[in-house]
Amino acid sequence: MPKILVFGKNGQLARCLAASAHEFPDAQLVFVGREECDLEDASQIEPVIDRLQPDIVVNAAAYTAVDLAEQHEDIAFKVNGDAVRAMAEALAKRAIPLIHVSTDYVFDGKGTKPYREEDKVSPLGVYGNSKLAGEVAVREAHQKHLILRTSWVYSQFGKNFVKTMFNLMAQRDEVRIVDDQTGCPTSAHDLAHAILELCGAATSAEFDKFGTYHLTSDQEMTWFEFGKSIHKIALQEWGEDWKGKDCVVLPIKSSEFPTAAKRPEYSVLSCRLINDTFGIKLPNVEDSLTAVIRGRGKENADA
C-alpha cells in the first residue's frame, strides 16, 4: 500500500486529493500544511520526508497568486522554485518518486495550436517564471519525476475563477470578462483522481514513464465563454431563486481589464501524450462544473 506524502493541505488540489482518497483504499495519504512545513524555508523539507518515510510525494503546494507575485517575486521563487529544488534533491537521494504540478503560464500564449510538452517555454510574468524555475529544478535534480502541467484549475475549495464568478454574479447586474484569452478549465477533482492513479503506477518497481505531461480538460474556451458556462450551469442547478440568475455576462478585451500580471492569449495544452501513455483523459467541463456546483451546495452559492 503506497504511502503518499502530499505537500499542501488547504489548497484546491490538496483538498480534492483528500476528497478522492476513499476511491483508492490501497493508498495512505498524509498531508503536510504550512504550519508543519513552511516552504519559504526549504530547510524544513528534508526532515519532514525523513519523519514520514513516504513511497511517493505529490507537491500540491505553490504560490499561486498570479498578480500578487509581481510584487512578491522573492516569495514566489522561494516557494515555487527553491522549495521544489530542495524537495527534488531530498527525494533523489532516497529514490522516492515526485509528482509535481506546473502550469500553462510557462508559455507565452503566442501559439495558435495546443502546446506540446517539448514546445518552447517563455513565461510572461513572475508566477510563470517561478513555476518554470520549479520545473527546471525537478528535471535537474531527480530523474524519478512526473511534472504535470495543468491549467485554469477550479473546485468548490479555495480561491478560483468559478468561485469568484459565483460571488460577482450574486452581487452585480453584469460581469465583464475577457474574451481574448483562451485555455482549458480543469477541475481539481479530476486532476486529483488522475494523480492518485499515477501514484499507483509510479510506485511500481518497473515504472519507466517518468517525465513531463500535460493534463487538462480537452475543451478550449475563453474566460468569457467559461463565465457563460458557469452562469448557465449554476442556473440549471440552483434554479430561479439563485441570486445570480439575472446577472448579464459580457465579453471584453484584456485591455479593458488591466491586471498586474500579463496572461497568455492562448495557453491550450495538448494532452495527447498522457492519453497515449497512461490512457488518462479528463471528463468534459460541463459534467465537472456541474459536480463542483453540486458539491458547493445552494446554501453556499453566494458565500
Ligand X SMILES: Cc1cn([C@H]2C[C@H](O)[C@@H](COP(=O)(O)OP(=O)(O)O[C@H]3O[C@@H](C)C(=O)[C@@H](O)[C@H]3O)O2)c(=O)[nH]c1=O
Residues forming the active site: 127
158 forms part of the interface with ligand NDP (CB under 6 A)? yes
Q: Does 67 bind ligand NDP (CB under 6 A)?
A: no
Written as nine digits, the cell of 282 is 479528463
- Residues 261-300, mask of contacts with ligand X (x by CB under 6 A): --x-------------------------------------
d(C-alpha 183, C-alpha 160), whole Å: 15
Pick out residues in 177-196 that bind ligand X (CB under 6 A).
177-178, 181
Q: Binding residue for ligand NDP (CB under 6 A) from 21, 33, 144, 257?
A: 33
Please report, as residue ranges, which positions from 218 to 237 form the binding site for ligand X (by CB under 6 A). Answer: 223
Going by DSSP bridges, is the β-strand pair 182-183/221-222 parallel, antiparallel, or unpaired? antiparallel
d(CA 289, CA 187): 7
Binding residues for ligand X restricted to 136-155, rule: CB under 6 A: 151-153
Residue 299, CA distances (Å) to 239, 290, 294, 296 in order: 12, 16, 11, 8
Among 38, 70, 108, 237, binds ligand NDP (CB under 6 A): 38
Find the DSSP H helices in the chain: 12-20, 45-52, 73-77, 83-94, 126-141, 161-171, 188-202, 223-238, 272-278, 285-296
- H or E segment to which residue 154 belongs: strand 153-154
Decide: 146 and 281 in contact? Cβ < 8 Å.
no
Rounded Cα distance between 190 and 122, Å, is: 27
Residue 293 engages ligand NDP in binding (rule: CB under 6 A): no
Cβ proximity to ligand X, 37 vs 215, nearer residue: 215
Q: Which one among 29, 79, 198, 247 touches ligand NDP, defined by CB under 6 A?
A: 79
Helices (H), 153-209: 161-171, 188-202
- CB distance 28 to 3 below 8 Å: yes
Residue with cell 511500481: 204
- The single residue among 20, 129, 130, 151 that binds ligand NDP, judged by CB under 6 A, is 151
User: Is the CB of 29 or the CB of 153 nearer to Mg ion?
Assistant: 153
Q: Taking the mean position of all CA atoms in its chain, how far away is CA 34?
A: 18
* Closer CB to ligand X, 90 or 101, in the complex: 101
Angle at 152 between CA 150 and CA 158, to 5 degrees: 105
The residue of the chain with the least Cβ separation from ligand X equals 103
124 binds, among ligand NDP, Mg ion, ligand X, none (CB under 5 to 8 A by kind): none
> Judged by CB, which is closer to ligand NDP: 64, or 212?
64
- In whole angstroms, how close is the CB of 157 to Mg ion at the nearest point? 14
Query: Is 237 exposed, middle or buried, given 0-12, 13-18 or 19+ CB atoms closer than 10 A?
Result: middle
Which parts of 83-142 interact with ligand NDP (CB under 6 A)?
A: 101, 103, 131
Q: CA-CA distances (angstroms) from residue 181 to 106, 226, 265, 268? A: 15, 11, 4, 10
Residues 6 or more apart whose CB falls under 8 angstroms from that of 22 comprise none
Q: Tell me the per-residue interface mask from 160 to 179 with ligand X, x by CB under 6 A, - otherwise.
A: -x--x---x------xxxx-
Q: Which of 207, 210, 257, 278 binds ligand X (CB under 6 A)?
A: 257
- Give residues in contact with ligand X (CB under 6 A): 64, 66, 103-105, 151-153, 161, 164, 168, 175-178, 181, 223, 257, 259, 263
- Give residues in contact with ligand NDP (CB under 6 A): 8-14, 33-34, 38-40, 60-64, 79, 101, 103, 131, 150-153, 158, 160
